[in-house]
Homo-oligomer: A and B are copies of this chain.
Amino acid sequence: MDQQIKSELRSIVGKDYFLDSPNELYVYSYDATPLYQAMPDAVVIPASVEEVSAIMKVASKHRIPIVSRGSGTNLCGGTVPVEGGIVLNMNRLNEFKEIDQENLTATFGPGVITADVHKAVEAVGLFYPPDPGSMRISTMGGNVAECAGGMRGLKYGVTKDYIMGLEAVLPNGEVLRVGGKNAKDVAGYDVTKLLVGSEGTLAVITEITAKLLPLPAAKQTMVAYYNDLTSAARSVQRIIAAKIIPATLEFLDQATMVVVEDFAHIGLPLDMKAMLIIEQDGSQWQVEHDMERIADICRSEGATEVRTAQTAEEGASLMAARRSALSALARVKPTTILEDATVPRANLAEMVDQVDIIANKYGLQICTFGHAGDGNLHPTCLTDERDKEEIHRVEQAFEEIFHAAIKLGGTITGEHGVGMAKAGYLDLKVGPVGMDLMRRIKEAFDPHGIMNPGKIFAKSARRRVVVNTNGCGCEHEHAHN
Protein backbone atom coordinates (compact mmCIF):
# COMPACT_ATOMS: atom_id res chain seq x y z
CA MET A 1 0.00 0.00 0.00
CA ASP A 2 1.63 3.24 -1.06
CA GLN A 3 2.28 6.14 1.26
CA GLN A 4 -0.21 8.42 -0.47
CA ILE A 5 -3.08 6.00 0.28
CA LYS A 6 -1.87 5.52 3.83
CA SER A 7 -1.87 9.24 4.37
CA GLU A 8 -5.38 9.56 2.94
CA LEU A 9 -6.60 6.91 5.39
CA ARG A 10 -4.70 8.48 8.25
CA SER A 11 -6.34 11.82 7.58
CA ILE A 12 -9.80 10.21 7.78
CA VAL A 13 -9.47 8.50 11.17
CA GLY A 14 -6.54 10.35 12.75
CA LYS A 15 -3.08 8.87 13.21
CA ASP A 16 -3.95 6.95 16.39
CA TYR A 17 -6.50 4.88 14.52
CA PHE A 18 -4.40 3.95 11.52
CA LEU A 19 -2.04 1.05 12.24
CA ASP A 20 0.66 -0.33 9.98
CA SER A 21 3.54 -1.46 12.13
CA PRO A 22 4.34 -5.17 11.79
CA ASN A 23 3.42 -5.86 15.42
CA GLU A 24 0.08 -4.18 15.07
CA LEU A 25 -0.68 -5.87 11.77
CA TYR A 26 0.18 -9.25 13.20
CA VAL A 27 -2.63 -8.91 15.75
CA TYR A 28 -5.10 -8.68 12.87
CA SER A 29 -3.64 -11.53 10.85
CA TYR A 30 -5.80 -14.25 12.41
CA ASP A 31 -9.12 -14.89 14.09
CA ALA A 32 -10.58 -17.68 16.27
CA THR A 33 -10.31 -20.22 13.46
CA PRO A 34 -7.29 -22.49 13.80
CA LEU A 35 -4.69 -22.68 11.03
CA TYR A 36 -5.67 -19.60 9.04
CA GLN A 37 -3.41 -16.59 8.94
CA ALA A 38 -2.56 -13.74 6.57
CA MET A 39 -1.17 -10.26 7.10
CA PRO A 40 -3.16 -7.12 6.28
CA ASP A 41 -1.45 -4.04 4.81
CA ALA A 42 -3.14 -1.68 7.24
CA VAL A 43 -5.65 -1.61 10.07
CA VAL A 44 -8.10 1.29 10.16
CA ILE A 45 -10.36 1.96 13.15
CA PRO A 46 -13.18 4.34 12.22
CA ALA A 47 -15.46 6.04 14.74
CA SER A 48 -18.49 6.89 12.59
CA VAL A 49 -20.45 5.96 9.50
CA GLU A 50 -18.98 9.04 7.81
CA GLU A 51 -15.46 7.77 8.40
CA VAL A 52 -16.41 4.31 7.14
CA SER A 53 -17.87 5.89 4.02
CA ALA A 54 -14.71 7.94 3.41
CA ILE A 55 -12.51 4.85 3.90
CA MET A 56 -14.65 2.84 1.47
CA LYS A 57 -14.27 5.55 -1.17
CA VAL A 58 -10.50 5.31 -0.89
CA ALA A 59 -10.59 1.51 -0.93
CA SER A 60 -12.94 1.47 -3.89
CA LYS A 61 -10.85 3.92 -5.90
CA HIS A 62 -7.66 1.96 -5.34
CA ARG A 63 -9.30 -1.49 -5.36
CA ILE A 64 -8.02 -2.33 -1.89
CA PRO A 65 -9.52 -5.36 -0.12
CA ILE A 66 -11.65 -4.50 2.92
CA VAL A 67 -12.04 -6.99 5.76
CA SER A 68 -14.40 -5.57 8.38
CA ARG A 69 -14.24 -7.23 11.77
CA GLY A 70 -15.18 -6.99 15.43
CA SER A 71 -13.68 -9.37 17.97
CA GLY A 72 -12.76 -11.99 15.38
CA THR A 73 -14.50 -14.86 17.20
CA ASN A 74 -15.80 -16.43 14.02
CA LEU A 75 -14.89 -20.04 13.27
CA CYS A 76 -14.66 -20.02 9.47
CA GLY A 77 -11.60 -17.86 8.87
CA GLY A 78 -14.07 -15.12 8.02
CA THR A 79 -11.91 -12.20 9.11
CA VAL A 80 -8.49 -13.36 8.00
CA PRO A 81 -7.21 -10.80 5.42
CA VAL A 82 -6.22 -13.47 2.96
CA GLU A 83 -5.64 -10.97 0.14
CA GLY A 84 -4.13 -8.33 2.41
CA GLY A 85 -5.57 -4.84 2.19
CA ILE A 86 -7.34 -3.02 4.99
CA VAL A 87 -8.74 -4.60 8.11
CA LEU A 88 -11.55 -2.35 9.27
CA ASN A 89 -11.82 -2.73 13.03
CA MET A 90 -15.40 -1.68 13.84
CA ASN A 91 -15.11 -1.74 17.62
CA ARG A 92 -15.30 2.03 18.06
CA LEU A 93 -18.83 2.10 16.61
CA ASN A 94 -20.06 0.76 19.92
CA GLU A 95 -22.75 3.19 20.96
CA PHE A 96 -25.84 1.59 22.51
CA LYS A 97 -28.26 4.08 21.05
CA GLU A 98 -31.69 3.03 22.27
CA ILE A 99 -33.99 0.47 23.79
CA ASP A 100 -37.47 1.27 22.47
CA GLN A 101 -39.84 -0.38 24.92
CA GLU A 102 -42.96 0.51 22.95
CA ASN A 103 -41.76 -0.96 19.68
CA LEU A 104 -39.68 -3.69 21.34
CA THR A 105 -36.49 -2.83 19.49
CA ALA A 106 -32.89 -2.02 20.37
CA THR A 107 -30.57 0.05 18.19
CA PHE A 108 -26.79 0.02 18.54
CA GLY A 109 -23.50 0.18 16.72
CA PRO A 110 -21.82 -2.96 15.37
CA GLY A 111 -19.09 -2.75 18.01
CA VAL A 112 -21.43 -3.50 20.92
CA ILE A 113 -20.65 -6.83 22.64
CA THR A 114 -23.42 -9.44 22.34
CA ALA A 115 -23.62 -10.14 26.08
CA ASP A 116 -23.98 -6.40 26.73
CA VAL A 117 -27.10 -6.41 24.57
CA HIS A 118 -28.45 -9.26 26.69
CA LYS A 119 -27.66 -7.39 29.88
CA ALA A 120 -29.11 -4.07 28.76
CA VAL A 121 -32.40 -5.41 27.47
CA GLU A 122 -32.92 -7.93 30.28
CA ALA A 123 -32.56 -5.07 32.75
CA VAL A 124 -35.87 -3.71 31.42
CA GLY A 125 -37.59 -7.09 31.17
CA LEU A 126 -36.85 -7.66 27.50
CA PHE A 127 -35.06 -10.47 25.70
CA TYR A 128 -32.64 -10.79 22.77
CA PRO A 129 -32.46 -14.57 22.26
CA PRO A 130 -29.40 -15.30 20.03
CA ASP A 131 -26.57 -16.45 22.32
CA PRO A 132 -23.56 -17.68 20.35
CA GLY A 133 -20.86 -19.45 22.33
CA SER A 134 -18.59 -16.41 22.06
CA MET A 135 -21.23 -13.95 23.26
CA ARG A 136 -19.08 -12.47 26.01
CA ILE A 137 -16.46 -11.44 23.46
CA SER A 138 -18.22 -11.29 20.09
CA THR A 139 -19.61 -8.05 18.69
CA MET A 140 -23.09 -7.62 17.28
CA GLY A 141 -21.61 -6.56 13.93
CA GLY A 142 -19.86 -9.90 13.75
CA ASN A 143 -23.03 -11.71 14.86
CA VAL A 144 -24.94 -10.02 12.04
CA ALA A 145 -22.22 -10.67 9.46
CA GLU A 146 -22.11 -14.38 10.34
CA CYS A 147 -25.80 -14.81 11.28
CA ALA A 148 -24.70 -16.21 14.63
CA GLY A 149 -26.72 -18.98 16.21
CA GLY A 150 -26.48 -20.29 19.73
CA MET A 151 -28.18 -22.54 22.24
CA ARG A 152 -31.65 -21.00 22.02
CA GLY A 153 -32.02 -21.47 18.26
CA LEU A 154 -34.49 -24.32 18.51
CA LYS A 155 -37.27 -22.21 19.99
CA TYR A 156 -36.11 -18.71 19.12
CA GLY A 157 -34.21 -18.90 15.84
CA VAL A 158 -30.95 -17.18 14.97
CA THR A 159 -29.60 -13.65 14.52
CA LYS A 160 -31.42 -13.21 11.21
CA ASP A 161 -34.76 -13.65 12.92
CA TYR A 162 -34.06 -10.60 15.11
CA ILE A 163 -32.51 -8.08 12.74
CA MET A 164 -35.16 -5.58 11.62
CA GLY A 165 -33.08 -2.75 10.25
CA LEU A 166 -29.52 -2.00 9.21
CA GLU A 167 -27.40 0.92 8.19
CA ALA A 168 -24.53 -0.22 6.00
CA VAL A 169 -21.89 1.32 3.80
CA LEU A 170 -21.61 -0.05 0.27
CA PRO A 171 -18.20 -0.63 -1.32
CA ASN A 172 -18.45 2.70 -3.19
CA GLY A 173 -18.99 4.57 0.09
CA GLU A 174 -22.73 5.09 -0.30
CA VAL A 175 -24.72 4.76 2.91
CA LEU A 176 -27.67 2.39 2.73
CA ARG A 177 -30.52 2.25 5.24
CA VAL A 178 -32.81 -0.78 5.06
CA GLY A 179 -35.69 -2.00 7.20
CA GLY A 180 -36.45 -0.22 10.44
CA LYS A 181 -38.83 -0.60 13.36
CA ASN A 182 -41.85 -1.76 11.38
CA ALA A 183 -43.20 -5.16 12.37
CA LYS A 184 -44.30 -5.57 8.76
CA ASP A 185 -42.48 -4.08 5.79
CA VAL A 186 -42.53 -5.32 2.20
CA ALA A 187 -41.17 -2.21 0.49
CA GLY A 188 -38.87 -3.83 -2.06
CA TYR A 189 -36.41 -6.69 -1.70
CA ASP A 190 -35.43 -7.73 1.79
CA VAL A 191 -31.89 -6.39 1.73
CA THR A 192 -31.77 -6.52 5.54
CA LYS A 193 -31.98 -10.31 5.66
CA LEU A 194 -29.62 -10.58 2.69
CA LEU A 195 -26.94 -8.63 4.57
CA VAL A 196 -27.33 -10.83 7.66
CA GLY A 197 -24.95 -13.73 7.14
CA SER A 198 -23.23 -12.12 4.14
CA GLU A 199 -19.91 -12.34 6.00
CA GLY A 200 -18.65 -8.88 5.14
CA THR A 201 -18.67 -9.66 1.43
CA LEU A 202 -21.40 -7.17 0.48
CA ALA A 203 -21.26 -4.11 2.72
CA VAL A 204 -19.94 -2.79 6.06
CA ILE A 205 -22.61 -2.74 8.76
CA THR A 206 -22.61 0.49 10.76
CA GLU A 207 -25.88 0.35 12.74
CA ILE A 208 -28.22 -2.44 13.81
CA THR A 209 -31.87 -2.39 14.89
CA ALA A 210 -32.88 -5.63 16.57
CA LYS A 211 -36.25 -7.02 17.55
CA LEU A 212 -36.78 -7.84 21.22
CA LEU A 213 -39.22 -10.15 22.98
CA PRO A 214 -40.66 -9.98 26.47
CA LEU A 215 -38.30 -11.80 28.85
CA PRO A 216 -39.84 -15.17 29.78
CA ALA A 217 -41.06 -15.25 33.39
CA ALA A 218 -39.54 -18.60 34.31
CA LYS A 219 -36.80 -20.98 33.20
CA GLN A 220 -35.76 -24.49 34.19
CA THR A 221 -32.79 -26.67 33.29
CA MET A 222 -32.60 -30.46 33.17
CA VAL A 223 -29.98 -33.06 32.30
CA ALA A 224 -30.54 -36.59 31.05
CA TYR A 225 -27.76 -39.22 30.83
CA TYR A 226 -27.72 -42.14 28.42
CA ASN A 227 -25.95 -45.44 27.98
CA ASP A 228 -26.01 -45.09 24.22
CA LEU A 229 -26.01 -42.29 21.65
CA THR A 230 -29.05 -43.48 19.77
CA SER A 231 -31.37 -43.25 22.79
CA ALA A 232 -30.26 -39.67 23.34
CA ALA A 233 -30.85 -38.74 19.71
CA ARG A 234 -34.20 -40.53 19.73
CA SER A 235 -35.25 -38.58 22.83
CA VAL A 236 -34.61 -35.37 20.91
CA GLN A 237 -36.83 -36.54 18.07
CA ARG A 238 -39.59 -37.66 20.40
CA ILE A 239 -39.63 -34.38 22.34
CA ILE A 240 -40.19 -32.44 19.10
CA ALA A 241 -42.68 -34.98 17.82
CA ALA A 242 -44.60 -34.50 21.10
CA LYS A 243 -44.91 -30.85 19.98
CA ILE A 244 -42.74 -29.49 22.76
CA ILE A 245 -40.19 -26.90 21.65
CA PRO A 246 -37.65 -26.40 24.44
CA ALA A 247 -35.58 -23.23 24.46
CA THR A 248 -32.42 -25.34 24.52
CA LEU A 249 -31.78 -28.98 23.67
CA GLU A 250 -28.06 -29.71 23.70
CA PHE A 251 -26.15 -32.92 23.16
CA LEU A 252 -22.71 -33.97 24.46
CA ASP A 253 -21.07 -37.30 23.69
CA GLN A 254 -18.93 -39.17 26.19
CA ALA A 255 -15.62 -37.84 24.89
CA THR A 256 -16.89 -34.28 25.28
CA MET A 257 -18.31 -35.06 28.74
CA VAL A 258 -14.91 -36.29 29.90
CA VAL A 259 -13.05 -33.14 28.89
CA VAL A 260 -15.85 -30.85 30.14
CA GLU A 261 -15.78 -32.59 33.54
CA ASP A 262 -12.03 -32.26 33.70
CA PHE A 263 -12.42 -28.55 32.95
CA ALA A 264 -15.53 -27.63 34.94
CA HIS A 265 -15.76 -30.24 37.75
CA ILE A 266 -19.53 -30.44 37.96
CA GLY A 267 -19.79 -34.16 38.66
CA LEU A 268 -20.76 -35.59 35.27
CA PRO A 269 -21.11 -39.42 35.29
CA LEU A 270 -18.24 -40.29 32.95
CA ASP A 271 -19.36 -43.86 32.34
CA MET A 272 -22.32 -42.55 30.35
CA LYS A 273 -22.17 -42.45 26.55
CA ALA A 274 -24.13 -39.22 26.06
CA MET A 275 -26.06 -36.50 27.82
CA LEU A 276 -28.73 -33.98 26.94
CA ILE A 277 -29.01 -30.55 28.53
CA ILE A 278 -32.54 -29.25 28.19
CA GLU A 279 -33.85 -25.84 29.12
CA GLN A 280 -37.39 -24.56 28.86
CA ASP A 281 -38.61 -21.04 29.47
CA GLY A 282 -42.03 -19.36 29.53
CA SER A 283 -44.65 -19.05 32.23
CA GLN A 284 -43.99 -21.04 35.40
CA TRP A 285 -46.97 -23.27 34.53
CA GLN A 286 -45.73 -23.93 30.99
CA VAL A 287 -42.19 -24.65 32.10
CA GLU A 288 -43.25 -27.16 34.75
CA HIS A 289 -45.76 -28.80 32.42
CA ASP A 290 -43.21 -29.15 29.59
CA MET A 291 -40.36 -30.30 31.82
CA GLU A 292 -42.46 -33.10 33.27
CA ARG A 293 -43.39 -34.35 29.83
CA ILE A 294 -39.78 -34.07 28.63
CA ALA A 295 -38.54 -36.04 31.64
CA ASP A 296 -41.10 -38.78 30.90
CA ILE A 297 -39.96 -39.01 27.29
CA CYS A 298 -36.27 -39.18 28.23
CA ARG A 299 -36.94 -41.94 30.76
CA SER A 300 -39.08 -43.91 28.36
CA GLU A 301 -36.26 -43.71 25.80
CA GLY A 302 -33.85 -45.23 28.28
CA ALA A 303 -32.19 -42.32 30.07
CA THR A 304 -30.44 -43.76 33.10
CA GLU A 305 -30.90 -40.55 35.04
CA VAL A 306 -32.97 -37.42 34.54
CA ARG A 307 -32.24 -34.57 36.90
CA THR A 308 -33.83 -31.13 37.13
CA ALA A 309 -31.67 -28.30 38.42
CA GLN A 310 -33.02 -27.29 41.81
CA THR A 311 -31.91 -23.69 41.63
CA ALA A 312 -31.27 -21.08 38.95
CA GLU A 313 -27.57 -21.25 39.89
CA GLU A 314 -27.43 -24.99 39.33
CA GLY A 315 -29.15 -24.49 35.96
CA ALA A 316 -26.70 -21.77 35.02
CA SER A 317 -23.74 -23.94 35.97
CA LEU A 318 -24.99 -26.76 33.73
CA MET A 319 -25.35 -24.32 30.86
CA ALA A 320 -21.92 -22.92 31.61
CA ALA A 321 -20.48 -26.43 31.45
CA ARG A 322 -22.00 -26.87 28.01
CA ARG A 323 -20.65 -23.47 26.98
CA SER A 324 -17.20 -24.53 28.13
CA ALA A 325 -17.11 -27.52 25.76
CA LEU A 326 -14.97 -25.84 23.11
CA SER A 327 -12.52 -24.36 25.63
CA ALA A 328 -12.32 -27.69 27.40
CA LEU A 329 -11.65 -29.58 24.18
CA ALA A 330 -9.05 -27.02 23.14
CA ARG A 331 -6.89 -27.97 26.15
CA VAL A 332 -6.52 -31.60 25.11
CA LYS A 333 -4.42 -31.33 21.96
CA PRO A 334 -2.52 -28.50 20.27
CA THR A 335 -5.12 -28.01 17.53
CA THR A 336 -8.89 -28.12 17.84
CA ILE A 337 -10.94 -28.10 14.66
CA LEU A 338 -14.59 -27.42 15.37
CA GLU A 339 -17.01 -28.28 12.60
CA ASP A 340 -20.58 -27.32 12.00
CA ALA A 341 -22.34 -29.96 9.93
CA THR A 342 -26.08 -29.67 10.28
CA VAL A 343 -28.96 -31.93 9.33
CA PRO A 344 -32.75 -31.80 9.61
CA ARG A 345 -33.28 -32.75 13.23
CA ALA A 346 -34.98 -36.03 12.39
CA ASN A 347 -31.67 -37.26 10.96
CA LEU A 348 -29.61 -36.40 14.03
CA ALA A 349 -29.09 -39.97 15.23
CA GLU A 350 -27.92 -41.07 11.82
CA MET A 351 -25.54 -38.12 11.54
CA VAL A 352 -24.01 -38.85 14.95
CA ASP A 353 -23.45 -42.45 13.82
CA GLN A 354 -21.86 -41.28 10.57
CA VAL A 355 -19.41 -39.02 12.41
CA ASP A 356 -18.42 -41.96 14.58
CA ILE A 357 -17.88 -44.25 11.61
CA ILE A 358 -15.83 -41.62 9.77
CA ALA A 359 -13.69 -40.85 12.83
CA ASN A 360 -12.87 -44.56 13.21
CA LYS A 361 -12.17 -44.94 9.51
CA TYR A 362 -9.54 -42.20 9.59
CA GLY A 363 -8.25 -43.03 13.07
CA LEU A 364 -9.10 -39.60 14.48
CA GLN A 365 -10.30 -38.37 17.84
CA ILE A 366 -13.57 -36.58 17.06
CA CYS A 367 -15.77 -35.44 19.94
CA THR A 368 -19.32 -34.45 19.08
CA PHE A 369 -21.54 -31.99 20.86
CA GLY A 370 -23.99 -29.39 19.71
CA HIS A 371 -27.46 -28.05 19.33
CA ALA A 372 -29.31 -31.33 18.99
CA GLY A 373 -32.72 -29.72 18.73
CA ASP A 374 -31.59 -27.86 15.62
CA GLY A 375 -29.76 -30.82 14.12
CA ASN A 376 -26.72 -28.54 14.39
CA LEU A 377 -23.75 -30.67 15.45
CA HIS A 378 -20.21 -29.64 16.20
CA PRO A 379 -17.98 -32.64 15.53
CA THR A 380 -14.66 -31.46 16.90
CA CYS A 381 -11.35 -32.99 15.94
CA LEU A 382 -8.54 -32.93 18.47
CA THR A 383 -5.33 -32.96 16.49
CA ASP A 384 -1.94 -31.35 15.98
CA GLU A 385 -1.29 -29.12 13.03
CA ARG A 386 2.40 -30.06 13.04
CA ASP A 387 1.45 -33.63 12.14
CA LYS A 388 0.90 -33.12 8.39
CA GLU A 389 -0.11 -36.70 7.82
CA GLU A 390 -2.84 -36.55 10.49
CA ILE A 391 -4.03 -33.16 9.22
CA HIS A 392 -4.43 -34.74 5.80
CA ARG A 393 -6.67 -37.41 7.36
CA VAL A 394 -8.63 -34.67 9.17
CA GLU A 395 -9.33 -33.00 5.82
CA GLN A 396 -10.50 -36.26 4.30
CA ALA A 397 -12.68 -37.02 7.32
CA PHE A 398 -14.39 -33.62 7.31
CA GLU A 399 -14.98 -33.80 3.59
CA GLU A 400 -16.76 -37.09 4.21
CA ILE A 401 -18.73 -35.56 7.08
CA PHE A 402 -19.95 -32.73 4.81
CA HIS A 403 -20.97 -35.21 2.14
CA ALA A 404 -22.81 -37.28 4.76
CA ALA A 405 -24.65 -34.17 6.03
CA ILE A 406 -25.69 -33.17 2.50
CA LYS A 407 -26.84 -36.73 1.80
CA LEU A 408 -29.07 -36.51 4.89
CA GLY A 409 -30.67 -33.29 3.62
CA GLY A 410 -28.34 -31.17 5.70
CA THR A 411 -25.94 -28.33 5.08
CA ILE A 412 -22.21 -27.68 5.28
CA THR A 413 -22.58 -25.00 7.94
CA GLY A 414 -25.42 -24.39 10.37
CA GLU A 415 -24.16 -21.32 12.15
CA HIS A 416 -20.42 -20.76 11.67
CA GLY A 417 -20.53 -19.43 8.13
CA VAL A 418 -18.64 -20.32 4.97
CA GLY A 419 -15.67 -17.97 5.16
CA MET A 420 -12.50 -19.61 3.91
CA ALA A 421 -13.01 -22.86 5.79
CA LYS A 422 -16.07 -23.99 3.81
CA ALA A 423 -15.64 -22.03 0.59
CA GLY A 424 -14.55 -25.12 -1.28
CA TYR A 425 -17.67 -26.97 -0.19
CA LEU A 426 -20.43 -24.43 -0.74
CA ASP A 427 -21.32 -25.91 -4.13
CA LEU A 428 -22.22 -29.19 -2.38
CA LYS A 429 -25.14 -27.36 -0.78
CA VAL A 430 -26.21 -24.78 -3.34
CA GLY A 431 -25.12 -26.42 -6.60
CA PRO A 432 -23.70 -24.69 -9.66
CA VAL A 433 -26.91 -22.70 -10.26
CA GLY A 434 -26.84 -21.38 -6.70
CA MET A 435 -23.11 -20.61 -6.90
CA ASP A 436 -23.53 -18.59 -10.11
CA LEU A 437 -26.48 -16.70 -8.70
CA MET A 438 -24.67 -15.88 -5.46
CA ARG A 439 -21.68 -14.61 -7.44
CA ARG A 440 -23.98 -12.31 -9.40
CA ILE A 441 -25.59 -11.04 -6.17
CA LYS A 442 -22.09 -10.38 -4.85
CA GLU A 443 -21.28 -8.38 -8.02
CA ALA A 444 -24.47 -6.35 -7.64
CA PHE A 445 -23.08 -5.03 -4.36
CA ASP A 446 -19.37 -5.21 -4.98
CA PRO A 447 -18.47 -4.92 -8.67
CA HIS A 448 -14.72 -4.64 -7.99
CA GLY A 449 -14.59 -7.56 -5.57
CA ILE A 450 -12.98 -5.62 -2.74
CA MET A 451 -15.29 -6.82 0.06
CA ASN A 452 -13.65 -9.60 2.09
CA PRO A 453 -12.23 -11.33 -0.99
CA GLY A 454 -11.52 -15.05 -0.79
CA LYS A 455 -14.52 -15.69 1.48
CA ILE A 456 -17.68 -17.66 0.58
CA PHE A 457 -16.46 -18.15 -3.01
CA ALA A 458 -13.49 -20.45 -3.46
CA LYS A 459 -10.77 -19.33 -5.84
CA SER A 460 -9.52 -22.84 -6.44
CA ALA A 461 -11.54 -25.98 -6.93
CA ARG A 462 -9.40 -27.86 -4.40
CA ARG A 463 -11.30 -28.44 -1.18
CA ARG A 464 -9.49 -27.88 2.05
CA VAL A 465 -10.87 -27.64 5.55
CA VAL A 466 -7.61 -26.57 7.08
CA VAL A 467 -5.22 -24.27 5.29
CA ASN A 468 -2.51 -22.12 6.72
CA THR A 469 -2.93 -19.37 4.18
CA ASN A 470 0.51 -17.90 4.18
CA GLY A 471 1.98 -20.38 6.41
CA CYS A 472 4.62 -18.55 8.28
CA GLY A 473 2.96 -16.78 11.19
CA CYS A 474 5.95 -14.47 10.92
CA GLU A 475 6.09 -10.88 11.98
CA HIS A 476 7.41 -9.15 8.91
CA GLU A 477 5.10 -7.48 6.42
CA HIS A 478 4.02 -9.22 3.22
CA ALA A 479 3.08 -7.77 -0.13
CA HIS A 480 -0.27 -9.27 -1.07
CA ASN A 481 -1.69 -7.17 -3.85
| Contacting residues, chain B, for A105 (C-beta < 8 A) | 344
With A and B bound together, what is the CA distance between A194 and B444 in angstroms?
A: 14
Tell me whether B190 and A160 are in contact (CB under 8 A).
Answer: yes
* Complex interface bits, A428-456 against B, C-beta within 8 A gives 1, otherwise 0: 01110110011011111100000000001
Chain A, interface size category, equals: 35 or more
Nearest CB in chain B to that of A284: its residue = B285
Nearest CB in chain B to that of A416: its residue = B186
With A and B bound together, what is the CA distance between A373 and B182 in angstroms?
A: 11
Q: How many of these chains are in the complex?
A: 2
Stretch at the interface among A85-93, A146-154, A252-260: A146-154
Chain B min CB distance to A69 (Å): 17
| Contacting residues, chain B, for A194 (C-beta < 8 A) | 189-190, 193-194, 441
* Interface residue from B214, B375, B412 paired with A187 (Cβ < 8 Å): B412
Tell me whether A430 and B178 are in contact (CB under 8 A).
Answer: yes
Q: Does A280 reach chain B (CB closer than 8 Å)?
A: no
Q: Does A345 reach chain B (CB closer than 8 Å)?
A: yes
| Contacting residues, chain B, for A198 (C-beta < 8 A) | 189
Tell me whether B429 and A103 are in contact (CB under 8 A).
Answer: no
Tell me whether A158 and B184 are in contact (CB under 8 A).
Answer: yes
* Interface residue from B176, B286, B343, B438 paired with A189 (Cβ < 8 Å): B438
* Interface residue from B241, B283, B434, B445 paired with A188 (Cβ < 8 Å): B434
| Contacting residues, chain B, for A213 (C-beta < 8 A) | 245
Known A174-B433, A430-B178, A438-B188; judge A345-B183 contact (CB<8 A).
Answer: yes
Query: Which residues of A are interface residues toward B (Cβ below 8 A)?
Result: 100-105, 125-126, 146-147, 149, 153-154, 158, 160-161, 170, 174-178, 180-191, 193-194, 196-198, 213-215, 237, 240-241, 243-245, 282-283, 285-286, 289, 342-346, 371, 373-376, 409-418, 422, 426, 429-431, 433-434, 437-438, 440-445, 456
